[in-house]
Amino acid sequence: MDKKIIKNIENRGGKCPPHKKKFNFKRCKDNTIKSLNEVEYFLNNFHRFIKYIKLYKILK
């Protein structure tokens, strides 16, 4: 934003709008990898759970 616009906003008693955050590719990449690992872990545990249920039905 221009300095003149910021001074006008401050003189009127208003607050300046927050600055836009820059896009952080590394953080986005890390979050994506973490999410994919969590999904993979959940699916592996889910498959185990299904195997136990099938085994239970067979033995029942």
> pTM, whole model, 2 decimals?
0.48
Question: pLDDT at position 36, please?
Answer: 94
- 1-39 pLDDT tens trace: 566 666 666 566 556 666 677 878 888 899 999 999 999
- Each residue's pLDDT tens digit, 41-59: 988 888 888 888 888 888 8
Asked if 11 contacts 5 with a C-beta cutoff of 8 angstroms, the reply is no
Encoding tokens for residue 47?
């498959």
d(C-alpha 29, C-alpha 12), whole Å: 42
